[in-house]
Structure 1
Amino acid sequence: MCEGLIAGQYLLIEQVGRGGFAVVWRARDEVLQRDVAAKQLFLPPYLTDEQRREHRERTLREARSAARLAHPGVVTVHDVVEHEGVPWIIMEFVHGRTLGEIVRTDGPLTPGRAAEVGLRLLDALCAAHAAGVLHRDVKPSNVIIGDRRVVLGDFGIARIEGDTELTQSGIVMGAPAYTAPERARGEPALAASDLWSLGATLFYAVEGRRAFRGPNPNATFHAILTCEPAPLRRAGPLAPVIEGLLRKDAAARMNAGEAAELLADAAGAHDRVSVPPHLPGRALPGHGRRHRWREATRPTSDLPAPRRPRPHPVRRPAVAALSFTALAVLLLSNALRVDDPRRRPAASYRTPPAHPRLTATLPAGRGEILSVVFSPDGRTIATGGRDRAVRLWTVAGHRMAGTLAGHRDPVSTVAFSPDGRTLATGGHDGEVILWNAPGHRAIATLSTHGRSVGALTFSPDGSVLATAGDAVRLWNVARHRKVRSLPATGENLRAASFGPHGTTLATAGTRTVRLWHVTGRSRPATVTRLTSPSGGMAFSGDGRMLAGGNDERGVRLWDVGGHRLLTTVPGAHANAVAFSPDGHTLACASGQAVLLWNTTTGTPAARLDAGTRTVEAIAFSPDGKTLATAGDDAAVRLWHLP
């Protein structure tokens, strides 16, 4: 649970963004009386100990990367503190929208405006490279454009010269579509690699589409290595610099000085561009006198506003103020989604006249709640959380029925057997405990040898328990022993669901959704590959649909049997999702709210203010009339659904 005051100084006000491994809050420095951004490392329960160490170190690396860049386009890191064993980065804070969001919402930029943005991004990259820092994740969702500022953010996977390389199980880090060819081949990153990514970002900014596309990361990498970029149709004078930056051979790629001159030309540098001061290469045309804007195009409020000419020229060029405060609204490897009213979909989540209503609030200890589930008869609720306890509640009386202690680390997942007599709990300690639910006592402990458990599911007849984490393990419930293991090939599994006949098991991980034939020896069928999962995942009761959170595209809904994407739920960037028993309603926990989506009509149904800073877990009652929500305030809220 996040206390209101961090390190005795920073008061959390509201959550402004969330990704797979971090949460950013707007906070108040009570000592200096100023607003700051507080970035909290968030480690999902499915990570292994080694991955948790990597992400913790990556958070500290981000602070070191930003702190060593003395540049107006780099966020000022005020402090790095530790609170309840979790590192926090305290930074300056400013609002803004990502370039990716602007293009998706307002359309592609004009070549002149895209060139102006490119100049400022190039300046920030040159300053970073001069300090020995490679960004390695330049992409539209890491570019923030706001109040006369263009900011390159998220140094979470940056490489500092001399630092130990941090890789995640050998995976190439960064967005595939913006990864330079040499990095796609597994070679070390270069300064030229960041320039290639800048070219791909400018392509997207002016064309409104990616230069290289593929149905999955491997296909995208193949396209980058073997194919030419998509044809430029809107780039106009920006085309030469994009083509030069996207050369596959790093040695032949356009350098920063050449790019700066072409960008200035594309922006009309002879009489209007203020060239940032850190760019290398030859002196640029017009550099050394005041320039004025003369672009006659529709304005975009999130881009630097045109400057009017002054009556008297000045001797030195006015340099556009840059700030790297985008890190206040960006996360380690995926861009954040800011809760800005301008960014909500046109079909907003308006609560209908017969709206859901809060019926009870159940306090549940001191720790953040990570999982909540109803018993099959709907009479009992079980919760698991960071305080390592499992709690049972009676739904009718709204009172605690018991507390089960046995886990040594946070409890990330809980599940009832179909008959409701057995409760299975799993967590970070790599143990699964089977409990006699009515008697509130432990029956057996199943060990996964220290591997964190991300999901639990019983077969329809209750004879088999499947646990998912670093691998899929099948357990004989009656004999309390493992009967089979299914390798997850390096993935972290977050969701699992048996099919209605118990012969197939669906699992969802960080990269793929798979169907396992648990009664035979055949290979699993890969349903789809997830390009950037970050939030919660859940299967419908019959296992035919899967919902998964996604930073860039909202919550996505798949048809598992048909192996196809059904729809994307706009405005939802969920760290928890749940289906109603009939599958007609999908609940998405998005920050402080829960969004209800009608899966039949594909329309919003309602938006609930869940009364907590972050909703971490949600569950429907068996009859679908009650929704339970829980989060970082250690309370379960029950909502009546009309």
Structure 2
Amino acid sequence: MLDTSRPIADYEPIEELGRGSHGECIVARPPSRLGLAGDRVVLKVHATAAGPDARRRVADELRQISSVEAPSLVALLDAGHQDGTIFTVTELCAGGSLARPATAPTRAQTLRAVADAARGAHALHEAGIAHRAIKPSNVMLDGAGGKLADVGLAHLLAPGQTVTGIGPVGAMEFTEPGALLGRPAGRASDIWALAVTLHRSLTSASVFGELPTESVFAALRHVLETPPALADGLSDEEAELISWCLSAERADRPATAELLAGELDRLAATT
């Protein structure tokens, strides 16, 4: 990790937003060269060491990601490396995230935020990119809707692309069991994650119940052996939609995240 008490490239760290297995997020003051209207951005310092091969791989992926223009994606503003560590820079959403909102969203706002995240995921899918890390902390609140963040950790859809590591217990809840078992990430696994994100945001509960916390492997076994079940507190239509997205067979889920977004918009309009 970089020392966040000093400048990172030409960014001035202001405060830490949070840490995870993939790195840490920092609110920073951007350099004038970006020509931004605001004076705050989110700088993510990635945990992966950035050797020459890693930098080339990340640069290729970020070029692909930055070519996807969608209002429902948090904008990627810059990227670089320092002291052997890669960093990415994105816009700051003042409303926080579904995991840590600045102000608690209404039910309709939650539905709209996940609908917008689904639209962002669809834009990535159409470009051949799977997000692979959709969860409440990556659905940012922006005005009356939301934006999908952490696209810098997305992986290109390609034959043989699988989950290459097991994340922390808290993130495992949002990873489709099939992906944990090595199936390629794609539309269907992201749609699963969107549904679990919605379920958690509406009920404050996991579709897997209480996950064991004594070890990552105990939590992994629990997720793989426990059929998802919906908590109380959902409307019939919400439960039906989430259940559709959690179908055991990928082919039985909504065909696209855009279709899911439309259904969520319809629910939000009647909530």
Alignment TM class, shorter chain as reference: 0.7 to 0.9
What letter matches 2:266 in structure 1?
D
| 1:231-242 equivalent positions in 2, closer than 5 A | 231-236=230-235, 237-242=237-242
| 1:49-68 equivalent positions in 2, closer than 5 A | 52-53=49-50, 57=55, 60=59, 63-64=62-63, 66-68=65-67
Q: Is residue 43 of structure 2 the alignment partner of residue 39 of structure 1? A: yes
Q: Please give the alpha-carbon distance, in whole angstroms, between the structure 2 residues aligned to 1:265 and 1:128.
A: 23
Deviation (angstroms), 1:223: 4.4
- State the TM-score, normalized to the length of structure 2: 0.77
**Aligned to 1:24, what secondary structure does the other structure show?**
strand
Map of 1:128 onto structure 2: 124
Cα gap change, 1:227 to 1:109, in 2 (>3 Å): farther
CA contact (8 A) 1:63 1:89 kept: no
Structure 1, residues 266-300: CA drift from partner, whole Å, max 9, x if none?
2236xxxxxxxxxxxxxxxxxxxxxxxxx5xxxxx
CA contact (8 A) 1:232 1:239 kept: no
The higher radius of gyration belongs to 1
Cα gap change, 1:77 to 1:268, in 2 (>3 Å): closer
Deviation (angstroms), 1:38: 5.7
Q: Please give the alpha-carbon distance, in whole angstroms, between the structure 2 residues aligned to 1:166 and 1:230.
A: 25
**What percent of counterpart residues are identical?**
23
CA contact (8 A) 1:134 1:191 kept: yes
More helix by share: 2
**Aligned to 1:73, what secondary structure does the other structure show?**
coil
Map of 2:253 onto structure 1: 253
More strand by share: 1
CA contact (8 A) 1:144 1:153 kept: yes
Structure 1, residues 457-516: CA drift from partner, whole Å, max 9, x if none?
xxxxxxxxxxxxxxxxxxxxxxxxxxxxxxxxxxxxxxxxxxxxxxxxxxxxxxxxxxxx
CA contact (8 A) 2:161 2:185 kept: no
Structure 1 runs (4+) greater than 6 angstroms displaced: none
Q: Is residue 154 of structure 2 the alignment partner of residue 152 of structure 1? A: no
Q: Please give the alpha-carbon distance, in whole angstroms, between the structure 1 residues aligned to 2:230 and 2:4.
A: 49
Deviation (angstroms), 1:2: 5.9
Q: Is residue 102 of structure 2 the alignment partner of residue 114 of structure 1? A: no
Deviation (angstroms), 1:11: 4.4
CA contact (8 A) 2:50 2:86 kept: no
Q: Is residue 176 of structure 2 the alignment partner of residue 176 of structure 1? A: no
Structure 1, residues 554-573: CA drift from partner, whole Å, max 9, x if none?
xxxxxxxxxxxxxxxxxxxx
Deviation (angstroms), 1:130: 0.3
Q: Please give the alpha-carbon distance, in whole angstroms, between the structure 2 residues aligned to 1:230 and 1:146.
A: 30
Map of 1:96 onto structure 2: 95
Cα gap change, 1:2 to 1:138, in 2 (>3 Å): closer
Cα gap change, 1:231 to 1:78, in 2 (>3 Å): closer
**Aligned to 1:99, what secondary structure does the other structure show?**
coil
CA contact (8 A) 1:38 1:88 kept: no
Q: Is residue 159 of structure 2 the alignment partner of residue 185 of structure 1? A: no
Which runs of 5 or more residues in structure 2 are unaligned?
A: none
Map of 1:402 onto structure 2: none
| 1:103-502 equivalent positions in 2, closer than 5 A | 106=104, 110=107, 112-162=108-158, 170-173=164-167, 175-213=171-209, 214-216=211-213, 217-236=216-235, 237-256=237-256, 258-268=259-269
CA contact (8 A) 1:36 1:91 kept: no
**Aligned to 1:241, what secondary structure does the other structure show?**
helix
Deviation (angstroms), 1:233: 2.0
Map of 2:79 onto structure 1: 80
Cα gap change, 1:153 to 1:197, in 2 (>3 Å): same
State the Cα RMSD in Å. 3.5
**Aligned to 2:206, what secondary structure does the other structure show?**
coil
CA contact (8 A) 2:71 2:147 kept: no
Cα gap change, 1:24 to 1:56, in 2 (>3 Å): farther
Q: Please give the alpha-carbon distance, in whole angstroms, between the structure 1 residues aligned to 2:252 and 2:162.
A: 28
CA contact (8 A) 1:38 1:91 kept: yes
Q: How many residues align?
A: 256
CA contact (8 A) 2:50 2:85 kept: no
Q: Which has the higher contact order (CA 8 A, sep 6+)?
A: 2
Deviation (angstroms), 1:62: 6.6
Q: Please give the alpha-carbon distance, in whole angstroms, between the structure 1 residues aligned to 2:83 and 2:230.
A: 52
- State the TM-score, normalized to the length of structure 1: 0.35
Structure 1, residues 60-100: CA drift from partner, whole Å, max 9, x if none?
57734541211112233333334455444343333232212
